[in-house]
Amino acid sequence: MSIRQRLIVLNFLELFIWGTWVLSAGAYMATTLHFNGVQIGSVYATLGVVSLFMPALAGVVADRWIRAEKLLGMFQLILVGLFIVLVQVKDFTAFYSVMFLMSMCYMPTLALNNSISFHILEKNGYDIVKTFPSIRVWGTIGFIIAAWCVDAFQWKVDARQFYLGAGAALVMGLYAFTLPKVPASALEDQTLVQRFGLDALVLFKDKKIIVFFFFAILIGAASQITNIWGVPFLSDFEIDYKDSFAVRHSVVLMTLSQISEVFFILVIPFFLKKYGIKIVVLISMFAWMFRFGLFGIGTPEGIGLGFLILSMIVYGMAFDFFFISGALFIDKVADQKIRFSAQGLLMTMTLGVGPVLGGYGSGYIVDLYTEYGARDWYSIWMIFAVYALVMAVLFGLFFRYKHVPEAEIVGAEELKPSS
């Protein structure tokens, strides 16, 4: 296989693993294990808690000691065993503990995957901004196929969804060891700060980067909400719309969000080059507002179904226009010596602090608007929509950035923090 094809397989497997459970585990916990809103939110928040330190720590290890592709494979093979253990547990404390360990193994692989892909593409003479989105889109396809498998086998409220994740993790763990070598940096003549990856904090010398990371946290919180509550929300229509496709195949409907990513990932290079990172992120934030608002007025049939489908479409813009563009932006503003650590730092914000806030905060809001087991989903989604609107307005005011065409691609030196 060519280098590009090998990276396509890598990204496909990476997101396939996530797609086996991230949309459906909320319904499994609510329906089968009978966890409450805060408990479900706290389980998802493990993804954020471990991302406070694991992606950065893994980035340091990959930068300094262990080749990144080997570290990626090790994480995935450990994950296999944890998936199998998770199937056996039923009480909240045990489930939370195993999920915490799973998150420790999986979350750093997202940043490692990006960094490995960037390194291999650059080494082989590819334009990263032009090439990576067309590779990363296969990760989204992998996510969609995994979720469809869960839906087709009716595993969205069944623990067997985790066996599918275990199988995919096994394949990826073995495959990672076959990837081209990504050498770790030599340790000689490095300071203590450099040895532990703290040199990536040099990015905070630039005020634009500080503001960017702050809003990365807020977007990270927003991104967690529909992953947790999308399927439970649609499942709550079962009494009045039990024969509706949207209810019976809620996971499939939710994956329309990922299908929309396939398109929006491919247009990122155009938007970044023409409009710059500020406009692209603002588009993402307003798309989150529409994502939540359309959920609030959506129903499984009639015009309400149209609103739900439209919400799925704007998700691709909401998610990709920040998460993919943000990774490309940070890759360009960070010095080559700290790229792994810089990606880890970004993941700490977007998949660490943000999801912790999103998990616990959304669980609190859902419980607040739940009475006698019935949830007031309209009020819940509108609160989230207002949150996204306020976030967009504040970002527009405080992120001071003047776009120069091609700046993110050929003028990166202008964006690097001053020393």
The C-alpha atoms of residue 100 and residue 197 are separated, in whole angstroms, by 24
Distances (CA, A) of 368 to 30, 86, 116, 133, 318: 16, 29, 43, 40, 26
Helix (H) or strand (E) holding 124: none
Distance of CA 242 to the CA centre of its chain: 31
pLDDT of residue 15: 94
Instruction: Answer for the pair 42, 173: CB distance below 8 angstroms, yes or no.
Output: no
**Torsion angle in degrees (nearest 10) through CA of 107, 218, 207, 274:** 90
Helix (H) or strand (E) holding 371: strand 370-371
Q: Quick one: 187 exposed, middle or buried, by C-beta within 10 A (0-12, 13-18, 19+)?
A: exposed
pLDDT of residue 298: 93
pLDDT of residue 184: 64
Whether 259 is covered by a domain: the verdict is: yes
Whether 21 is covered by a domain: the verdict is: yes
pLDDT of residue 188: 40
The C-alpha atoms of residue 147 and residue 344 are separated, in whole angstroms, by 27
Q: Can you give the C-alpha Rg of the chain in angstroms?
A: 20
The CATH number of the domain holding residue 341 is 1.20.1250.20
The C-alpha atoms of residue 395 and residue 310 are separated, in whole angstroms, by 25
Number of domains in the chain: 1
User: Which of 245, 218, 215 is closest to 329 using CA atoms?
Assistant: 215
Domain holding 100, by residue range, is 3-183+194-415
Instruction: Answer for the pair 330, 271: CB distance below 8 angstroms, yes or no.
Output: no
Going by C-beta distance under 8 Å and a sequence separation of 6 or more, which residues neighbour residue 154? Answer: none
Q: Where are the beta strands (DSSP E) in 178-235?
A: none
Whether 331 is covered by a domain: the verdict is: yes
* CB neighbour burial string for 215-242, b if at least 16 within 10 angstroms, e if fewer: bbbbbbbbbbbbbbbbbbbbbbbeeebe
Distance of CA 41 to the CA centre of its chain: 16
pLDDT of residue 193: 56
Whether 189 is covered by a domain: the verdict is: no
Instruction: Answer for the pair 247, 235: CB distance below 8 angstroms, yes or no.
Output: yes
The C-alpha atoms of residue 265 and residue 133 are separated, in whole angstroms, by 6
Going by C-beta distance under 8 Å and a sequence separation of 6 or more, which residues neighbour residue 332? Answer: 408, 409, 412, 415
pLDDT 10s per residue in the chain (419 long)? 889 999 999 999 999 999 999 989 988 998 899 999 889 989 988 988 887 778 767 777 776 778 888 999 999 999 999 999 999 999 999 999 999 999 999 988 987 888 889 889 988 988 887 888 889 889 989 999 999 999 999 898 899 999 999 999 999 999 999 998 887 654 344 454 554 556 677 777 778 888 888 999 999 999 889 888 998 899 889 888 888 888 888 889 998 988 898 788 888 888 888 888 889 999 999 999 999 999 999 999 899 999 999 999 999 899 989 888 888 778 777 777 777 677 767 877 887 788 889 989 999 999 999 987 788 999 999 999 999 999 999 999 998 766 666 544 433 333 333 32
Q: Is 64 left (phi over 0), alpha (psi -120 to 50) or beta?
A: alpha
Whether 188 is covered by a domain: the verdict is: no
